[in-house]
Structure 1
Amino acid sequence: MNIPFEQIIAYLIPIIIWTLTVSITIRLITKKQAVSATLSWLMVIYLVPIVGILAYLLFGEIKLGKRRGNYFKTLHPKFMRWFNEFQQCEHLVSTSQGTLLYRPVFELAQKRLGIPCVLGNELHIFDTPESIIQRIIEDIKLAKSDINMVFYIWWNGGLVDDVMHALIEAKQRGVNVRILLDSVGSKAFFKSKNYRYMLKHGIEIAEALHVSLFRVFLRRIDLRQHRKIIVIDNQIAYTGSMNMVDPSFFKQEANVGKWIDMMVRINGPVSPVLNSLHAWDWEIEKNEALPLVLPDCPSLPIENNNSHAVQILATGPSFPDDLMAQSLSIAIFSARKSITITTPYFVPSHNIAEALRIAALRGVEVTLILPKRNDSFLVRWASRTFFDDLLAAGVKIYQFEKGLLHTKSVLIDNRLALVGTVNMDMRSFMLNFEVTMVVEDKSFANEISILHENYLHSSQKLDYNEWQNRSTFSRIMEKIFFLFSPLL
């Protein structure tokens, strides 16, 4: 008896869909993750089965890929040994119980990451594209041996072309220049003449987390290299929120205004730690080991209020799970007087949102500074769902009106600062390779506080009563997108 092929397919497809649905459901129920994420995936899979199943197979598991995963594990002991050697310099590493007021934040990172808290750094903030890039170019011109960079986006045009020429000049006088760029974020650059021009002049450029459609089921294609790091001669370093872009030439079609960023310039012994992260990422992508050089080990006069203590938080797939969310939670619960947060994408976990609400209820002055206009339609609606409870608890929410505020910063009690590349969303907490500086230093905190004041002058405070009177359509949109917030 011959059964038509069409009839076989008609029976086979439902069986495959049913089998995958049951298998994914069992996986979600037994998987260790937030309940909200589990429920969101189940909703997608059962409401739109075929789309939901494909989406889960592509994005549901945090898979770094077999080669990268094995390489990461192989390299881990090597870098842990180096961090351990770093700690042998007692003058540079925080060991005194009385030095840090917010010690639990630092201890968590040290115990889970193995990276020490480093003292004796000179830190300064630059908050305009012109001041940031001009200072970077000045430091490039003084480079003697190595310039190492990691960026999510490199975008040609304007001031960025000046950086390119400065790097080529550095290479011509014998400086090693190595640049690691994310495959997706810098996609346009990899197709550009400037990319080929830089390669022609001897600059080494590596593509991080290359996207291959042939391997979509073996590795998540949306894992991104989101760090922003520059290290010059193992001594001068930069990190913060700004990609290698000139806002006057970048995403003009998004209609959100210029991107507003900040970078921290570091002169001191924590720079080699940032350099080691570049070396780690570089070796995974290029299979090329770079030298790990310890800083000099001088005796430093450390003041109690200005220890210049910096803890580097490296987060991402294969790094300790939930480290960023845990660090934020500890910082928020440790606040006694004030918390100020700036972030372009505010879709936090329930635990972070609740920690902020509780902080406000116990009398801490909690301030959020968010962009009024956002380049992400999904995030713009999903973030608004949190406003009701936060405003009711007394959290002050300001909407920045002069562009897309892209700075990622947290300031606790005008004393403890967290600045870097991490957005306040689950993608940054779980999927992206990120870097954050945790700094307990009174003078640096003052710089962050002044920066926040400048942002507030260009922001409009949300009125709770007016917010309560928003349209029914807005409320429905917020709830719909909130259902997907754990997946954003």
Structure 2
Amino acid sequence: MDWQLIFKIVYYVILLVFTFKVIYDTESSTKASAYILLIFLLPVAGILIYLSFGLNYRKSQIYDKKLQLDQNQKKIINQYIEFYLKDTKKEFDEKFSKYFGLGNMLYSDTESFVTKNNQVNLLINGENKFPAMFDALRKAKHHIHIEYYIYDDDEIGNELAEILMQKAREGVQVRFIYDDFGSRKIRKHLVPKLRESGVEAYAFYKVQFIYLANRLNYRNHRKIVIVDDSVGFVGGINVSDKYVNRNPEDLYWRDTHLMLEGDSVNELQRIFLADWNFCSNQNVKPNPSFFKQHPILENPQWVQIIPSGPDSMNPSILYSFLHAIAISEKEILITTPYLIPGEEFLHALHMAVLRGVRVKVLVPEFSDSLVVNAVSKSYYLDLLDQGVEIYLYQKGFVHAKTMVCDDELSIIGTANLDNRSFDLNFEVNAMVYDRDITSQLRQTFNNDLENSRQIYYEDWANRKKYKQFLEKCLRLISPLM
């Protein structure tokens, strides 16, 4: 018996089986091509990577069920909030004629209302976020809803835990969602401690080794805090000491967050309750204490909350970026820690430059991921050639996810500019239609440029060829990242 021949036959059958599976299961042809290339170039590693990260359950029963639960819940919630938002849409269309198409498109896609009655505060870095958030949490009377991708068992994490446990002992209803992968450091010790004190804590989509493949893909990347449906927090800052920059010898982290008061908090509440009922298997029904009518605020600001995830019908956050870029007339300022744009994003930026829009992109010079950083660098030459200005942040690691478009639109949230955020993870962004916030965010961007260096086409093209070759090789798997 020719065992060598049998081995070859089995080997090629396995390759063909996985090739057919990739083609059949993967919605994106670009992503499918990348997986097939990886499987044929590195068969064992490629198959393991596909099994770990590539199996596509986007339309599986579990997400179909969540989508149905979310839609049923929205119908109930709308009974509480539609009556005082009925005139808001007309006023928004009149006040922001440039953006009414964007707002309407996002409402049609996500059923997220544009809300007028808001107070928005921009929080730069953990040094500003955590004091404001802790103060709001200590004032909680009825409920605290908190949802994080990364929650570390460190000084900041324990300080927050003490507040949550104290409020639970006072009779405040505390619900806590943590991502089982991103917050794996707290699973064994801190989570049981929270539960013992009366905090309801659930992992979002638990990671189990046998299901590692699908579950490392679809993570909850959201960062949401809601206090008594009056105050909400959303943005890029997780719960970790590294965000507060206490030790000057450690890597400096630059990030951006929002504190919201008013009607937009109802939209954060809607997202949280949908996630809560999904991961806890409870059926917490919307009620007036969760969706109350907020007092009329002075100088109110317009906000639209946009969720997106593998349970969404469309890549809503990607759509929001593309539409915002398409209607920009003067300036686009982008800050992102991970820049792995798809072809549609590259084309959108190029068309903006051709229209005469000045496009600036701020990215970290040094990243927390060598591979992702190398893939990001492979796009710089294309962008520079198109006329996009690129700045490398040098003071530390810029983790903020923001976009400024002209004078009245700011986008702040959890989504990076990569396929993982657009298609695989649960994300949430805030669209702020306001001159003051946009001016503040523009000034923040310009402040960051003072700690950055601009790169130019000639210099970037003349780097060592082996580096460029390695970056372009890694770019072949960019659809998987």
Relative to the length of structure 2, the TM-score reads: 0.91
Q: Which residue of 2 aligns with 1:229?
A: 224
Q: Which residue of 2 aligns with 1:290?
A: 284
Kept in 1, the 8 Å contact 2:322–2:345? The answer is yes
1:88 counterpart (76, 83, 88): 83
Change (3 A) 1:65 1:301: closer
Q: Which residue of 1 aligns with 2:406?
A: 413
Secondary structure of the residue that 1:273 maps to in structure 2?
A: helix
Correspondence list, 1:51-450, <5 A? 51-63=45-57, 68-85=62-79, 86-90=81-85, 93-96=88-91, 97-100=93-96, 101-192=98-189, 194-216=190-212, 219-247=214-242, 257-293=251-287, 295-297=291-293, 308-450=301-443
Aligned residue identity for 1:212 = Q
Change (3 A) 1:31 1:50: same
Kept in 1, the 8 Å contact 2:237–2:243? The answer is no
Q: Could you say what the CA RMSD is over the residues aligned between the two structures, in angstroms?
A: 2.6
Aligned residue identity for 1:483 = L
Kept in 2, the 8 Å contact 1:180–1:282? The answer is yes
1-side partners of 2:179 and 2:6: how far apart?
40
Deviation at 1:124, TM superposition (A): 0.5
Aligned residue identity for 1:215 = Y
Deviation at 1:94, TM superposition (A): 2.0
Change (3 A) 1:431 1:251: farther
Deviation at 1:479, TM superposition (A): 0.8
2-side partners of 1:420 and 1:479: how far apart?
29
The size of the alignment, in residue pairs, is: 475
Aligned residue identity for 1:158 = E
2-side partners of 1:12 and 1:51: how far apart?
22
Change (3 A) 1:298 1:131: closer
Deviations 1:431-461 (A, max 9, x none): 1100011121112212211221221121111
Deviations 1:61-95 (A, max 9, x none): 33169663353144133223035433332357423
Change (3 A) 1:11 1:207: farther
2-side partners of 1:179 and 1:38: how far apart?
36
2-side partners of 1:57 and 1:157: how far apart?
33
Identity of aligned residues (%): 26
Secondary structure of the residue that 2:242 maps to in structure 1?
A: coil
Deviations 1:173-194 (A, max 9, x none): 21111110001111111123x3
Deviation at 1:256, TM superposition (A): 7.9
Deviation at 1:378, TM superposition (A): 1.2
Correspondence list, 1:447-486, <5 A? 447-486=440-479
Q: Which runs of 5+ in 1 are unaligned?
A: none
Greater shift after overlay, 403-412 or 32-41? 32-41
2-side partners of 1:158 and 1:423: how far apart?
27
Relative to the length of structure 1, the TM-score reads: 0.90
Aligned residue identity for 1:418 = I
Q: Which runs of 5+ in 2 are unaligned?
A: none
Change (3 A) 1:64 1:28: closer
Deviation at 1:285, TM superposition (A): 1.0
